[in-house]
Amino acid sequence: MATTQVNPTRMELTRLKRKLVTALKGHKLLKDKRDELMRQFLDMVRENMTLRQQVEEGIRAANQNFVLASAVMNEPALQTALMAPKQSVTLDIAYKNVMSVEIPQFSYHTRTSNPHDIYSYGYGFTSADLDDAVKSLAEIFPQMLELAEKEKACQMMAAEIEKTRRRVNALEHVMIPDYQEKIKYITMKLDENERSTQIRLMKVKDMMIKERIEQSRAQA
Amino acid sequence: MANIAVIGERDSIYGFAALGLDTFFVQAEEEVRQCFHQLVGGGYGVIYITEAAASLISEEIEKIKMQAVPAVILIPGVWGNTGAGTANVKKSVEQAVGSDILFHN
């Protein structure tokens, strides 16, 4: 596949050989990176799936409770009950480097430490179903956050794996064979040159000898 | 320091306000898009979005997948689970492995 022309010189040959060594080294490293990423990804994505199923189930249950609550209470009362939340959540984001993928890690803290602050309303005028609903949502929330972390990590790792795989394939099937082909071409060309020089020298020598013989014959 | 946002139809997400998350009620496609764009640059670490709302702006969500933050996570709405969330997980398996070898059912 020597589509591009190369100069059959020794300098070019050394340059190409050096490039081939680098490409082989890079190929090995990238392959290792891909394999390790894949291993971690498969573990992570399994966790992701189970978490997602849990969270979806939890949210479904919570929604059921909310529907119940809204059936018992009238709309304005429900809205005012949740209008001014007492609790607020802030998120701390740290980054973890997994095979050069920057994965975010979330940890949250609530503004107040009292777990009952999720009920932002007086109990007098609201239905108990609303309490249940809010409680079920609060229970699933830590898992929701974990899901966010895992799912984001999976998405980023999947993209990185795809990229790495492309690079590995490009090196393995295009770059490295190409270099090998060029190196072979140059060595063959150089050998050929060497042989032709040798033949020429031999011919010249033959001619010189013949000349000498004829000279000495003429003298005799 | 970052916040957590929830985007979706009012009935699906109004409960999250009680936990102290920022809720954004949206309905039409244009609203969802506008709201989403504001939140992406607005210092939010995690954005939960209902599957129904997410289906309207799937391209925008796809675009920020490689960004570390915010993490955009699909949640089922009050009208049931469309399966878009699990489909997303399967899609990332497909992207990484080439075909879905883990959850093919």
Tell me the ipTM for this assembly.
0.87
Q: How confident is the model at residue A114 (pLDDT cuts 50, 70, 90)?
A: confident
Which region among A149-153, B4-8, B86-90, B97-101 has the lowest average model confidence (pLDDT)? B97-101
- Could you say which of A108, A152, A161 has the minimum Cβ distance to residue B71? A152
For residue A208, what pLDDT is reported? 95
Chain A: residue nearest B68 by CA?
A104
Q: B84 CB near a chain A CB, below 8 Å?
A: no
Q: A140 CB near a chain B CB, below 8 Å?
A: no
Strand duo A101-110 + A89-98: pairing:
antiparallel
Write down the CATH superfamily of domain B3-97. ATPase, V1 complex, subunit F (3.40.50.10580)
DSSP-H helix ranges across A125-175: 128-170
Q: How confident is the model at residue A39 (pLDDT cuts 50, 70, 90)?
A: very high
Interchain pair A45, B71: CB under 8 A: no
Q: Mind listing the domains of chain A with CATH numbers?
A: 10-183 (1.10.287.3240)
Rounded Cα distance, B66 and A200, in Å: 64
Q: Is the pLDDT of residue A1 over 70?
A: no
Mean pLDDT of B80-105: 81
Q: Tens of pLDDT along B41-55?
A: 888 888 999 888 888
Those of residues 24-83 in B touching chain A at CB distance below 8 A are 45-46, 48, 65-66, 68-69, 71, 73, 75-78, 80-81
User: What ranges do the domains of chain B cover?
Assistant: 3-97
Q: Tens of pLDDT along A162-182?
A: 999 999 999 999 999 999 999
- Could you say which of A63, A85, A95 has the minimum Cβ distance to residue B78? A63
pTM passes above 0.90: no
Provide, rounded to the nearest whole percent, the portion of chain A with pLDDT above 90. 47
Query: What six digits make up the tokens of A101?
Result: 């993928």
Are B53 and B78 within 8 A, CB to CB?
no
Q: How confident is the model at residue B64 (pLDDT cuts 50, 70, 90)?
A: confident
Query: What six digits make up the tokens of A98?
Result: 């997994």
Interchain pair A82, B14: CB under 8 A: yes
Are A120 and A136 within 8 A, CB to CB?
no
